[in-house]
Structure formats: C-alpha cells, structure tokens
C-alpha cells in the first residue's frame, strides 16, 4: 500500500505547494515512485512550483468522466520517478464538489499504485479540504511563525478532531454527548475537546475509548516554514506541545525551514528550488525535514474509515 | 492523559514529585513563556478566560511548590489521598561539589541537538567486530567502512556534521590514494571522522597512516 502524505495548513501562502514539491522531488531522487496530486482544485499552483507551466491533463477530466481512471491523467515530469496529477486546467466550477465525486476521488487516490502519494491541499477548513487531509493518519501541517498562520493551524486541527468524532458518533449522538458533558462540567464545550473527551469517557467508556483510539492513531507532523533570523526557532516545538497537551493528539515537529528570498526567484523562474539552489541553508533544512518525516513514516490509510 | 483542568501541581508544571526548587523555577518559567498573553505559540488557542485560569493555576502551583513548608503540606495531602507514594517526594540533601566541567551537562537543553551522538560510544564498547578492528596494528579503508556501517552512520551524515567533503571521506574509505589530500589535512579529516563515530581517534589515525606509509 502506498504512503499518503496530505500537506495542509489552513492559511494560504505558507508554502504548502513549495513543501509538497520539494518533498516530492527528494522522494523521487531517493528512488521512490512518487505521485504528487494538486488538491487545491480552484487555485492550483503546484504545477508552477514543479516547473510544468502547461500540464495537458487535469483532475477535471476525471471528475467529469472524460477519462475512466485517475491513472489516465497522471503526467510525467522531467524528474525520473516523479509523477503528477494537476489541477491547473480544471474547469472554473470545480471547487464546488459534490459529495459523491469527492468520495470517488478519495477511493481512487488510495488505490493508486505508487510508493508515496503527496496531496497538496488548499487553504481553508472546508469539508472538502478536511476530508482529503484525513485520508491518512500522517498529515503534514505547514505554518510560518506568524500568529495568523499559527491560529489557522489550530483551527484546522480542531476541525479534524471534530470531523473525526462526528464521523464516529454521527451528528445526533455527538450533540447528545456534548450536551451531557456540558451538564457535568460547564467548561466542557466544543472548544475544550480534551475535557470533553474525558467526560465522554466517563459517561460512555466504550465509545470514549473508540474515539480516543482513533485520535491517537493520527500522527501529525509540523513543518515551520519561512523562519526568519529574528524568529524564535523553538516556536514549532511549542506549538506541538500545546496540541499534544491540550488536544491529546500526536504531533511531531519535523523542523524549521529558513526563509530565503531565493525561493521567490526560483518560483519566478519556474524551476524547482532544490535544483537551482541546492546548497542554501533552506535546501538543507528541507532535506533534514524530509529525513525526519521519513524516519516517522508509519502510515495508515484512513479511507476505509471514511467510507463507513 | 488527564485533561489539563484535572492535573495536580506537579503534572501542571510537568515535574516529577522529587523535583528540586531549581527545576520547579525553570519549569514555571517555561510554562509561563508558553501560556503568557503575548505568546505566539498559544496565540488564539485559548479564549482569554481560559488563558487567565491556566496562568493563575500555574502560579498557584508554583507558589505552593517553591515554598518548602507549603510544599511539604501539599505532599502529605497527596500521600493521604494516595496520589503520591510515600518516599517519592523531594528531600533536600547536601550534594558533593560537582566538577566545573559538569556544569554544562546539567544545562543540557532538550531543544538543542547534540552534535555527537552519545549512544555510539556504547555501541562501540559493546560491538565485538569493532573491538577486533580497533585492536589491529594497521587499518584499511575497508576497516573504517566496517566500523561506520556497524554503527549505522551514513557517510552523508558525517560529511554534514564534520564539514569534510563527502568525496574525501569516500576516498579515505576506498583507499583511493591518488585522491588523498596532503598528509596534514588527512590527519585532521581522520580525526573528525573518528570523533564523530566516538572511536579512539589516535588508534584510527596511527593505524591508517601506518598502513598507507607502507
């Protein structure tokens, strides 16, 4: 089975596509058959980061049933072992997906025969984005050290938390349990999931345990991108600590990536950053993050759960 | 894990019950940095009331634990309720003076990566193959490669940490004499190599150079 790494982060402009592209290139270079999929359906960019200005096929073709399988819209890249599904030429109405189409796409992605599949997610916390983020347990979050970006990380994580609880309990039971928890302790609201879960476990040990198990299955990773010299290098570690302590989720910090103006240059030139600036601090930071993520790679696909 | 709201003072500050006053102070300082109003890391995570509550609970925990009298009282209450086991609490003992060279060790910060992996030393002392190679009179590049692979260290890693070019390291391991740097540099490179692997640098340098001089 392939390892699926969804890469998200809530806020736009933090470097999700940049990180996805760079990790993909490194995986391919190390001989892994790797597929990158641009899940940012409406405002796709990944093709540009990879230096493929005009991909011939796109997800639209699959969703609109122009082709039968996802395999048919995979395009090759100039890098051996690196394959790509683009959203560049999508129809303009594609961002508004029907539920059925999304499920079909999720299922098809999970079945693709590649060693690594990286999903470049869009900004925001819409169900479409969240569901792709939850396709496996090894989501990678990208943030910068700015408060705007950090707060969106927390939003995204909480959205995942609740989407998962809702999926297990179904909406009605979820509401009931929340009500009951609130009666027992006024502080146990939706914004306090750890206390909520604790009370739910007391009220209904069996279900509480199931949810706890599922949440413990997640193994998120955090990349702190665009770290400036004057920033606190420990901030990523602290974000992970807050999430582990207060949301009882596993969250690994995989590294800082230094800010570098040359990233801008490489995107303007439409050449992958790792190819033209391989000796920069930023490039070695990316390689370190890559190694750290690979060392943690235990991946489990969640598609089966989503389909239930 | 217990939710934050139900944790005792030690759990709140992430301390073990036998923590020393110095550790308590440091733990409080770190926790305060994380939860204070201006903290970036917890920004927007807590509503203002909750943040205030956490900070006041941290302060309460700190004030009780830092005062020996109130701490003893708190500990005995915890022992009564069975949360804490008798004998696990902190007791002030006079310590022997420590060597000044140890001072840095006690400050070791979890967030700062160590340049040299401590665990290698242990493997070196326990691995019979490495011991055997180290006992030889002369060493070949292949011997070095064996030591390195036994330790599970990649050439890239050594190159990265020691800043010795990977081509040079490769030449050393392959005994590619024609690619060698001048002797004085070669010695330095062998030293960095040995130091990173935590093996005796003199044995490596002498053994290797003795052989190529033959």
Q: pLDDT tens for residues A94-149?
A: 767 788 888 899 999 998 999 999 999 988 888 888 999 988 888 999 999 999 99
Task: Please enumerate residues of A whose Cβ is less than 8 A from a Cβ of B.
Answer: 145, 147, 150-151, 154, 187, 191-192, 194-195, 197-198, 232, 234-235, 237-239, 241-242, 245-246, 248, 284
Measured between beta carbons, the chain B residues lying within 8 angstroms of A289 are: none
B128 shares a domain with B202: yes
B202 shares a domain with B124: yes
Percentage above 70 pLDDT, chain A:
93
| Chain B nearest C-alpha distance from A215 (Å) | 13
| Model confidence band, residue B94 (pLDDT cutoffs 50, 70, 90) | low
Average pLDDT over residues A34-61: 90
Question: Among B212, B70, B47, B71, which residue's Cα sits nearest to residue B144?
Answer: B212
Tell me the count of A-B CB pairs closer than 8 A. 49
What does the DSSP assignment read for A33-83? -EEEEE---SS--HHHHTT-SS-S--HHHHHTTSSSSGGGG-EE-SSTTEE
B159 shares a domain with B87: no
What is the per-residue pLDDT for A234?
92
Boundary residue ending a domain (B78, B93, B108): B93
Query: Which residues are CB-neighbours of A288 under 8 A, at least 6 positions away?
Result: A255
CB atoms within 10 A of CB B23: 16
What is the per-residue pLDDT for B102?
57
Q: Using CB atoms within 10 A of its CB, is residue A293 exposed (0-12), middle (13-18) or buried (19+)?
A: buried
| Chain B nearest C-alpha distance from A94 (Å) | 32
Residue A225, CA atoms < 13 Å, CB-side half-sphere: 25
Measured between beta carbons, the chain A residues lying within 8 angstroms of B39 are: 238
Boundary residue ending a domain (B93, B128, B146): B93
Whether A14 contacts A142, CB under 8 Å: yes
Q: Which of B34, B45, B50 sits opposite A154 (nearest CB)?
A: B45
| Model confidence band, residue A256 (pLDDT cutoffs 50, 70, 90) | very high
Measured between beta carbons, the chain B residues lying within 8 angstroms of A284 are: 160
Q: Which residue from B minimizes the CA distance to A233?
A: B111
Specify if B105 maps to a domain. no
Q: Which residue from B minimizes the CA distance to A192?
A: B46
What is the per-residue pLDDT for A100?
86
Q: For residue A175, is pLDDT > 70? A: yes
For A3-146+220-240+253-307, the fitting CATH number among 3.40.50.410, 3.40.50.300, 3.10.20.340, 1.10.340.30 is 3.40.50.300
Specify if B106 maps to a domain. no
What is the per-residue pLDDT for A268?
92
Pairing assessment for the beta strands A82-85 and A75-76 based on DSSP bridges: antiparallel
Average pLDDT over residues A200-225: 84
Q: Do B43 and A145 touch (CB under 8 A)?
A: no
B136 shares a domain with B79: no
Model pTM?
0.70
| Model confidence band, residue B98 (pLDDT cutoffs 50, 70, 90) | low
Boundary residue ending a domain (B58, B93, B128): B93
Mean pLDDT (chain A) is: 87
The residue range of the domain holding B26 is 4-93
CB atoms within 10 A of CB A187: 16
Torsion-angle region of B26 (φ positive above 0: left; ψ -120 to 50: alpha; else: beta): alpha
What is the per-residue pLDDT for A282?
95
Mean pLDDT (chain B) is: 84
| Model confidence band, residue B95 (pLDDT cutoffs 50, 70, 90) | low
B206 shares a domain with B123: yes
Q: Is A258 helix (H, G, I), strand (E, B) or coil?
A: strand
Residue A225, H or E segment: strand A219-227
Specify if B188 maps to a domain. yes
Q: Which of B2, B3, B41 sits opposite A235 (nearest CB)?
A: B41
Q: Do B41 and A150 touch (CB under 8 A)?
A: yes
Helices A147-184, A193-203: crossing angle, 10 deg rounding: 30
CB atoms within 10 A of CB A273: 24
What is the per-residue pLDDT for A304?
46
Six-digit token pair at A197?
A: 């879960």
Instruction: Tell me the CATH number at B21.
Output: 1.10.287.110
Which among B1, B2, B3 is the top mutation candidate for probing chain A, defined by the most A β-carbons within 10 Å of its own β-carbon?
A: B3
Which of the residue ranges A85-99, A231-245, A249-263 would you say has the lowest mean pLDDT? Answer: A85-99
Q: Do B4 and A246 touch (CB under 8 A)?
A: yes
Specify if B103 maps to a domain. no
Query: Domains in chain B: how many in total?
Result: 2
Q: Using CB atoms within 10 A of its CB, is residue A121 exposed (0-12), middle (13-18) or buried (19+)?
A: buried
- CA torsion angle for A58, A60, A65, A71 (degrees, to 10)? 30
Specify if B59 maps to a domain. yes
Specify if B101 maps to a domain. no
What is the per-residue pLDDT for B157?
84
Measured between beta carbons, the chain A residues lying within 8 angstroms of B50 are: 187, 192
What is the per-residue pLDDT for B65?
93
Measured between beta carbons, the chain A residues lying within 8 angstroms of B109 are: none
Q: For residue A305, is pLDDT > 90? A: no
| Model confidence band, residue A236 (pLDDT cutoffs 50, 70, 90) | very high
Q: Do B34 and A198 touch (CB under 8 A)?
A: no
Q: Using CB atoms within 10 A of its CB, is residue B178 exposed (0-12), middle (13-18) or buried (19+)?
A: exposed
B139 shares a domain with B86: no
């Amino acid at each position: 089975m392939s390892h699926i790494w969804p890469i998200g982060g809530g806020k736009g402009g933090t470097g999700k596509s940049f990180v996805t592209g760079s990790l993909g290139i490194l995986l391919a270079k190390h001989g892994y058959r790797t597929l990158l999929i641009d899940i940012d359906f409406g405002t796709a960019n990944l093709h540009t980061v990879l230096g493929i200005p005009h991909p011939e096929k796109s997800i639209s073709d699959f969703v609109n049933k122009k082709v039968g399988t996802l395999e048919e819209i995979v395009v090759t890249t100039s890098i051996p072992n690196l394959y790509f599904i683009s959203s560049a030429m999508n129809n303009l109405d594609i961002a508004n997906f029907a539920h059925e189409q999304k499920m079909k796409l999720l299922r098809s992605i999970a079945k693709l025969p590649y060693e690594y599949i990286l999903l470049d997610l869009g900004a925001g916390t819409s169900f479409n984005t969240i569901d792709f983020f939850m396709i496996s347990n090894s989501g990678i979050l990208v943030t910068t050290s700015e408060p705007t970006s950090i707060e969106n990380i927390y939003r995204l994580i909480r959205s995942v938390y609740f989407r998962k609880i809702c999926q297990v309990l179904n909406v009605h039971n979820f509401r009931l349990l929340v009500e009951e928890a609130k009666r027992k302790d006024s502080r146990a609201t939706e914004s306090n999931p750890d206390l909520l879960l604790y009370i739910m476990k007391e009220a209904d040990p069996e279900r509480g345990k199931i949810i706890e198990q599922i949440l413990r299955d997640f193994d998120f990773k955090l990349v702190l991108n665009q770290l400036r010299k004057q920033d606190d290098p420990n901030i990523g570690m602290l974000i992970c600590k807050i999430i582990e302590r207060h949301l009882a989720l596993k969250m690994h910090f995989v590294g800082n990536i230094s800010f570098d103006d040359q990233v801008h240059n490489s995107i303007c030139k439409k050449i992958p950053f790792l190819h033209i600036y391989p000796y920069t601090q930023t490039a070695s930071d990316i390689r370190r993050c890559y190694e750290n993520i690979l060392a943690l790679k235990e991946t489990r696909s969640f598609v089966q759960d989503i389909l239930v | 894990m217990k939710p934050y709201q139900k944790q005792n003072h030690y759990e709140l500050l992430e301390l073990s019950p036998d923590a020393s006053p110095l550790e308590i102070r440091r733990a409080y300082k770190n926790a305060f940095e994380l939860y204070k109003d201006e903290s970036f890391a917890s920004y927007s995570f807590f509503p203002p009331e909750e943040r205030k509550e956490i900070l006041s609970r941290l302060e309460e925990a700190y004030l009780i634990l830092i005062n020996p009298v109130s701490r003893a009282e708190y500990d005995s209450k915890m022992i009564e309720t069975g949360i804490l086991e008798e004998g696990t609490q902190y007791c002030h003992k006079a310590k022997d003076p420590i060597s000044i060279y140890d001072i840095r060790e006690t400050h070791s910060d979890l967030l700062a990566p160590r340049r040299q992996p401590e665990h290698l030393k242990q493997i070196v002392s326990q691995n019979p193959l490495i011991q055997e190679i180290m006992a030889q009179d002369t060493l070949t590049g292949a011997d070095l490669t064996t030591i390195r692979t036994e330790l599970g260290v990649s050439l890239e890693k050594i190159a990265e940490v020691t800043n010795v070019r990977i081509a040079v390291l490769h030449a050393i391991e392959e005994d590619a004499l024609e690619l060698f740097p001048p002797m004085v540099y070669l010695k330095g490179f062998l030293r960095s190599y040995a130091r990173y692997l935590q093996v005796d640098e003199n044995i490596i340098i002498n053994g290797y150079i003795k052989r190529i001089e033959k």
